[in-house]
Homo-oligomer: A and B are copies of this chain.
Amino acid sequence: MPDKTEHLHGTLDALILKTLSSGPRHGYAIARWLEDTTDGALAIEEGSLYPALYRLEKRRVIEAEWGTSELGRRAKFYALTPRGRAELRQRTAEWARFAEAVSRVLLPAT
């Protein structure tokens, strides 16, 4: 067994954008939501999440604002920009195409 699943490569950004498409969320909530929604199949490490958020913010696809979490703690809320919505659409389409292709190769019985 070589390594874990670094399948996330190239997909994490899209997942984050999608998570924000229903409204602003803070980082921790993004990770929780993704984990819950996928019954734990997708586990986002903090060391992946926060750098990813910075990248996305720098590229202006999301923007951040400090606020207060549901539990009264200080938290940074991220929101999609219009640019982000456009990128989400594009990346979703790319994913669909890619996943369809891989499945077509991989899933037929040996």
- Contact of B15 with A98 in the complex, beta carbons under 8 Å: no
- Contact of A41 with B107 in the complex, beta carbons under 8 Å: no
Contacts of A10 in B (CB 8 A): 5-7, 9
What's the least CB distance linking A20 to chain B, in Å?
Answer: 10
In the assembled complex, the Cα of A88 lies from the Cα of B5 at a distance in Å of: 14
Contacts of A21 in B (CB 8 A): 110
A59 interface hit (Cβ, 8 Å): yes
Contact of A41 among B19, B97, B110 (CB under 8 A): B97
- Contact of B88 with A110 in the complex, beta carbons under 8 Å: yes
A71 interface hit (Cβ, 8 Å): no
- Contact of B99 with A18 in the complex, beta carbons under 8 Å: no
A49 interface hit (Cβ, 8 Å): no
A73 interface hit (Cβ, 8 Å): no
Given A9-B10, A41-B101, A18 and B106 touching (CB < 8 A)? yes
Residues of A at the B interface (CB closer than 8 Å) are 1-2, 5-7, 9-11, 13-15, 18-19, 21-22, 34, 37-39, 41-42, 59, 85, 88, 90, 92, 94-107, 110
